[in-house]
Amino acid sequence: MTDTPLLHVDMDAFYASVALRERPDLVDQPVVVGGSGRGVVLAANYVARRYGIHSALPMARARRLCPQVVVLAPDFDTLTSVSASVMATFREVTPLVESISLDEAFLDVRGAVRRLGPPARIAEQLRSTVHDEHGITCSVGVAASVSVAKLGSRRAKPDGVLVVPPAEVASFLHPLDVGELYGVGEKTRALLHRIGLVTAGDVARTPLEDLQRAVGRHLGHELHHLAWGTDRGELHVGAGPRAVEKSMGAQETFARDSDDRDVIVRELLRLSARVAARMRAAGVAGRTVALTVRFADFTTITRSRTLAEATDVTVEIHGAATGLYDRLALRRTPLRLVGVRVEGLVPRATVHHQLALGEPDRGWAEADRAVDRATRRFGAAAVRPASLV
């Protein structure tokens, strides 16, 4: 058996690498993938990174850092299909694959060792297969726990492998800044630094109770395990609790801030229709409708309402969202973004609609399903609510 059965595989600059397969003429130039206007960088190739460009950077700043940067739009259909075939490659190694995004997955290779050799060799084979079959590079971390494998792949980038055996976990983790630990973001890092905990080793040496007093019970416990590399060693595979989504939402930043109720309510309709259609396609319904509003100064608030019964109907979701918006009673306050999310999703089949007294019928639900059929036949542009035409 092996003492490092987990692989974390992470595609290198995935969105950019996939885009560059179609544009090999650009490989030596700084390239980012992202939206235009008020967008951020989704991925930057390694040439662009030399200019200090990285993902999540506002596009405007990326252009300032490197005026000659080439900006490509993301092609989500291609990304999704490349991702699916890469994941299929992983499943040829082991059925125990936990995919955590389009470009990342954990593999438990315990059962593949006899067939394919030690994990380090499996990792190298996998990397060359991915490169040969899909034309992109990836990096792999190999360890006994999920978070150590993940940190390993980050350290191996780009285009490398790093194995962290159990005996070396402490010496690998403890020099790292706490901000490198999975689950420690900007805020928690700042808080920990403020109380003198700068490295993972500092956290590891702090008594659990002190840690929990500083950052909360749960996070304290979590941090302690992360700093010792004793987080989970089993993957969540297949029909686990994460197999079905718990919420679905859509949000959009306006090209220009808007304080016009008509514009905002129309945008809420567009978002509600998008969410409801995805819910119907997934066969789920939800009871709680949440509205997100972001102001010009970037402060963001949410308001939610739980309905008497779960729905997947556009007008019901839109009605709830509009009601929440009106209850805010904003007077000509410019909004940067609005969003609609439906939470508490359950399988559609478990929802039993009770016809309320005097309620006409389920006309709107039937209308939605007719729209779904027409969209499947003629495309999304063919069928829209009249107010969006």
Q: Does residue 218 touch DNA according to CB under 7 A?
A: yes
Q: Is 210 annotated as a binding residue?
A: no
Determine the distance from the C-alpha atom of residue 318 to the mean position of all C-alpha atoms in its chain, rounded to a whole number: 25
Q: Does residue 219 touch DNA according to CB under 7 A?
A: yes
Place of tokens 């490989």: 27
Interaction with DNA in 56-95: which residues (CB under 7 A)? 56, 58-61, 63
With 0-12 CB in 10 A as exposed, 13-18 as middle and 19+ as buried, what is 286?
A: buried
Q: How far is the CB of 388 from DNA (least distance, A)?
A: 16
Q: What is the DSSP string of 249-261?
A: EEEEEEEEEE--H
Q: Does residue 341 touch DNA according to CB under 7 A?
A: yes
Distance CA 235, CA 212 (A): 26
Q: Is 257 annotated as a binding residue?
A: no
Distance CA 16, CA 124 (A): 22
Please identify, among the stretches 34-42, 80-88, 156-164, 354-362, the one whose residues bind DNA according to the rule CB under 7 A: 34-42
Interaction with DNA in 168-187: which residues (CB under 7 A)? 182-187
Q: How far is the CB of 113 from DNA (least distance, A)?
A: 26
Distance CA 198, CA 180 (A): 11
Q: What is the DSSP string of 271-328?
A: HHHHHHHHHHHHTEEEEEEEEEEEETTS-EEEEEEEEEEEE--HHHHHHHHHHHHHHH
In terms of CB distance, is 112 or 285 closer to DNA? 285
What does residue 301 show for φ and ψ, rounded to 5 degrees? -125, 160
In terms of CB distance, is 114 or 187 closer to DNA? 187
Q: Does residue 249 touch DNA according to CB under 7 A?
A: yes
Distance CA 223, CA 68 (A): 42
Q: Does residue 245 touch DNA according to CB under 7 A?
A: yes
Q: How far is the CB of 70 from DNA (least distance, A)?
A: 14
Interaction with DNA in 99-138: which residues (CB under 7 A)? 100-104
In terms of CB distance, is 120 or 214 closer to DNA? 214
Please give the size of the binding site for DNA, defined by CB under 7 A. 61
Q: How far is the CB of 351 from DNA (least distance, A)?
A: 14
| Residue 104 annotated as catalytic | yes
Which tokens belong to 248?
A: 């679905």
Q: What is the DSSP string of 67-117?
A: TT-EEE---HHHHHHHHHHHHHHHHHH-S-EEEEETTEEEEE-GGGHHHH-
Q: How far is the CB of 363 from DNA (least distance, A)?
A: 26
| Active-site hit among 92, 104, 168, 222 | 104
In terms of CB distance, is 241 or 360 closer to DNA? 241
- What single-letter amino acid sits at 79? L
Q: Do the bridges between strand 104-108 and strand 97-101 make them parallel or antiparallel, or are there none, so unpaired?
A: antiparallel
Half-sphere exposure of 46 (CA within 13 A, CB side): 7
Q: Does residue 288 touch DNA according to CB under 7 A?
A: yes
Q: Does residue 188 touch DNA according to CB under 7 A?
A: yes
Q: Which residues are catalytic?
A: 104
Which residues define the annotated binding site?
A: 10, 103
- Where on the chain is the footprint of DNA (CB under 7 A)? 35-40, 42, 55-56, 58-61, 63, 100-104, 150, 182-189, 216-219, 241-242, 245-253, 274, 278, 287-288, 297-298, 300-306, 336-337, 339, 341, 344
Which residues define the annotated binding site for Mg(2+)?
A: 10, 103
